[in-house]
Amino acid sequence: MVMKMEEKNNFKKKTCRGNEEKKIINNRINRIEGQLRGIKKMIEEDAYCNDVLIQLSAVQNSIKSLSNHILENHLYTCVANDIERGNLEIVDELINLFKKFNK
């Protein structure tokens, strides 16, 4: 039995991203993974707490920057398209999204 992508991954909706956008996002994720591996190594090597915390802050900033990038694209594409089609439920989705961002 072949499952749809949505069923297999439990996605309600999909966003089609171009290859260049996927490349940008994946490069940033790879950088974040590298930062995390570096922090793991710091812990294994008993690095000073302050140094570890500085690196953790850098990871948080990288994740926040990536989130903002994806949010900006979401607003210009998915949200704009839904509003053009008259789907105002997207506003409720955005409100819930911003509530999650501010936790």
Q: In CATH, what number is assigned to the domain containing residue 74?
A: 1.20.58.1000
Instruction: Report helix, strand or coil for 102.
Output: coil
Residue 56 located in a structural domain? yes
In terms of pTM, does the model score above 0.85?
Answer: no
List the domain range (segments joined by +) for residue 60: 27-101
Q: Confirm whether 16 is domain-assigned.
A: no
> Is 97 inside a domain boundary?
yes
Q: Is 17 inside any structural domain?
A: no
Q: What total number of domains does the chain contain?
A: 1
Residue 9 inside a domain? The answer is no
Residue 41: inside a domain, yes or no?
yes
pLDDT at 73: 95
Would the pLDDT of 92 be above 60?
yes
Buried b (16+ CB within 10 A) or exposed e, 25-56: eeebeeebeebeeebeebeeeeeeeeeeeebe
- 7-31: pLDDT as tens digits: 456 668 889 899 999 999 999 999 9
**pLDDT (tens digit per residue) in 55-74:** 999 999 999 999 999 999 99
Is 22 within a domain? no
**Residue 4's pLDDT band (cuts 50, 70, 90):** very low
